[in-house]
């Protein structure tokens, strides 16, 4: 069974292009995003990792570390980063895990149902799917997404989801559909009207169970 929301994520050891890590120690007291890709030197993956590189200031502003993963080796990762940077125009300063053994991919259930590692493998027959895991500072999984190999991820949406998670983390709040940073948020039903007003002040009750606030 794969990881569920609020599970503590595995504390694995791994080699990356920036050196060895112990995952929980690497996260430290920050948020983290682990994202896998099928294979280095493939077109969609290169555009995806370029998008991650372009968002470096956003990750830093939101106290978030990002780390990639594929079944390729450390030297392939190091060399491939040159292509990522050439395409994106941004420095790829985040580490990429070399998961040739599939140990991490299996712990996070990142593999397609019939995954295997034949000699001369390609992205189509071997590798981790496009998964994303957002992890809070307490090392618990807060969000996961999995895409097929044919669909590139929208990292603007992943950033939006990160902002929503941080906005509501440990608070009696939720974000409505299509929420973006700065918009009103939903007051959780765990608070009655009196408690909601005490905590957030006057709120907009659009329905008895849909109460919005800008004071969070």
pLDDT digits (tens, 9 = 90+) for 10-61: 999 999 999 999 999 999 999 999 999 888 999 999 999 999 999 999 999 9
What's the mean pLDDT in 189-204?
97
What is the per-residue pLDDT for 123? 42
What is the per-residue pLDDT for 110? 84
pLDDT digits (tens, 9 = 90+) for 155-183: 999 999 999 999 999 999 999 999 999 99
- pLDDT band, residue 120 (cuts 50/70/90): very low
Domains present along the chain, CATH in parentheses: 13-154 (3.40.30.10), 173-213 (no CATH)
Question: What 3-state DSSP class applies to 59?
Answer: helix
DSSP H or E run through 70: strand 64-70
DSSP 100-159: TT-HHHHHTT-S-TT----TT--TTTS---EEEEEE-TTSBEEEEEEE-TTS---HHHHH
In angstroms, the first-to-last Cα distance of the chain is 36
Most distant pair of Cα atoms in the chain: their distance: 65
pLDDT digits (tens, 9 = 90+) for 135-147: 999 999 999 999 8
Work out the mean pLDDT of the chain and round it to a whole number.
92
What is the per-residue pLDDT for 2? 78
What's the mean pLDDT in 91-110?
92
What is the per-residue pLDDT for 113? 63
Catalytic residue among 45, 51, 98, 162: 45
- pLDDT band, residue 71 (cuts 50/70/90): confident
- 204: annotated active-site residue: no
What is the per-residue pLDDT for 114? 59
């Amino acid at each position: 069974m794969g990881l569920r929301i609020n599970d503590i994520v595995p504390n694995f050891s791994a080699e990356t292009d920036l050196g060895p890590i112990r995952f929980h120690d690497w996260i430290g007291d920050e948020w983290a995003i682990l994202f896998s890709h099928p294979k280095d030197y493939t077109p969609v993956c290169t555009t995806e990792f370029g998008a991650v590189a372009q968002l470096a200031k956003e990750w830093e502003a939101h106290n978030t570390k990002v780390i990639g993963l594929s079944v390729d080796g450390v030297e392939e990762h190091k060399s491939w980063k040159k292509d990522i940077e050439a395409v994106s125009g941004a420095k790829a300063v985040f580490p990429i895990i070399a998961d040739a053994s599939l140990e991490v991919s299996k712990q996070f259930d990142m593999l397609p149902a019939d995954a295997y590692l034949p000699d001369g493998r390609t992205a189509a027959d071997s590798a981790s799917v496009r998964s994303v895991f957002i992890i809070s500072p307490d090392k618990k999984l807060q969000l996961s997404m999995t895409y097929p190999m044919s669909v590139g991820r929208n990292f603007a949406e992943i950033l939006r989801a990160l902002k929503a998670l941080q906005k509501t983390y440990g608070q009696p709040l939720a974000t409505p559909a299509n929420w973006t940073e700065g918009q009103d948020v939903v007051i959780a039903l765990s608070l009655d009207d009196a408690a909601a007003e005490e905590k957030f002040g006057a709120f907009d009750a659009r329905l008895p169970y849909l109460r919005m606030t800008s004071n969070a």
